[in-house]
Amino acid sequence: MITCLAGGVGAARFLQGLVKFVSEEEVTIIGNTGDDIELYGLNISPDLDIIIYTLAGLADEEKGWGLKGDTFNCLNMLKLYGHETWFNLGDRDIATHIYRTQLLKRGFPLSDVTKRLREKLSLKEEILPMTNDRFETRIRTPNGSIHFQEYLVKRQAQDDVLGVHFEGADKAKPAPGVIDSILKARTVVVCPSNPIVSIGTILSIRGVREALKETQANVAAISPIVGGSPVKGPADKLMRGLGKEVSAFAVARLYQDFIDSFVIDQIDQAEKEKIEGLGLHVVVTDSIMKSLDDKIRLAKAALQSVESL
Ligand code: FO1
């Protein structure tokens, strides 16, 4: 089994490459749920949906989220009724949130809901939420603490970041199968996702970090920071806000106690030795994913980075 720790768009693109040469049944994905938000009475799990839609070939690959060719008539009507519509939910996307909300209301845990969703969309990869419990990533800003989506989408990541808070992390238990999928894996891959609010959230779940240290699996990570910037998203603003350098090396430092290898982009070649100094096996490659071939190449580099160990 190959177990992948995944956030949203970057992870989804990486996984598209991985499943081109690894059988889908062999892949287990532990997805971030810190971005989850309730809007219009609907439970929305953005990162789980991005992974599911992308692997099902339904995602709007341009934006990276939502469904290709979706319409926004429902949202426009909600706007007419005076609702805030800064989070763009497409009409077909809303069906996913209705289905998820109905099942949650009937008492099914998020892990069951996610299993049903990916089965209905004929996915063979196992997709596990990091937890079934309430967990909300909040950003501390000069205007107070706000939900991650409000920070990122409504306010376009313009607020100064004074801190990041994982509400619920103290009580959140790993969802069924999460710890096992790490302990039983042949290889664990930390996908190129935001190290603070996509991977950091998964690592904050009780028992996850310990399992990553304990597992017999080799653990590979891909740097989401290339040339001092994230390929996509607010990782630089969050890292700076937390007083961390924005570099591949800084990400390697965050993961160093449980990974064996670290894949960095050729633009960061100069950091290779410094990262090796952390005791990690470093692989330098072209890590920018534009085409499917790029995604396959990066996924192969990640697996090869630990196969030689
Ligand atoms: N991101 C945006 O920047 N703007 C949006 O309007 C937006 C809507 C949206 C709807 C469903 C969904 O699953 C994701 C959506 N995202 C949107 C992406 C999301 O905010 C973030 O990309 C992830 O939460 C971070 O990985």
Instruction: List, for residues 64-82, the tens digit of each pLDDT value.
Output: 999 999 999 999 999 999 9
Q: Find out whether the beta carbon of 130 lies less than 6 Å from any atom of ligand 1.
A: no
Say which CATH topology domain 1-36+125-309 has.
Answer: Rossmann fold (3.40.50)
What does the domain layout of the chain look like in residue ranges? 1-36+125-309
Q: Specify the residue for token string 């287990």.
A: 28
Distance CA 193, CA 226 (A): 12
Average pLDDT over residues 138-156: 98
Ligand 1 mean position to 254 CA, how many Å? Answer: 25
DSSP 8-state symbol, 175 = P
Mean pLDDT computed over every residue of the chain: 98
Q: Decide if pLDDT at 41 tops 80.
A: yes
Q: Find out whether the beta carbon of 153 lies less than 6 Å from any atom of ligand 1.
A: yes
pLDDT band at 177 (very low <50, low <70, confident <90, very high): very high
Ligand 1 mean position to 35 CA, how many Å? Answer: 9
DSSP 8-state symbol, 59 = B
pLDDT of residue 121: 98
pLDDT band at 308 (very low <50, low <70, confident <90, very high): confident
Q: Find out whether the beta carbon of 8 lies less than 6 Å from any atom of ligand 1.
A: yes
Ligand 1 mean position to 110 CA, how many Å? Answer: 19
Q: What kind and span of H or E run contains 270?
A: none
Q: pTM (2 decimals)?
A: 0.98
**Whose alpha carbon is nearest atom 4 of ligand 1?**
153
pLDDT of residue 157: 98
pLDDT of residue 170: 97
> What digits encode the pLDDT tens for the residues 160-169?
999 999 999 9
Nearest-CA neighbor of 231 among 297, 290, 300, 155?
Answer: 290
Q: Decide if pLDDT at 255 tops 90.
A: yes
Can you state the angle between helices 91-105 and 110-120, rounded to 10 degrees? Answer: 140
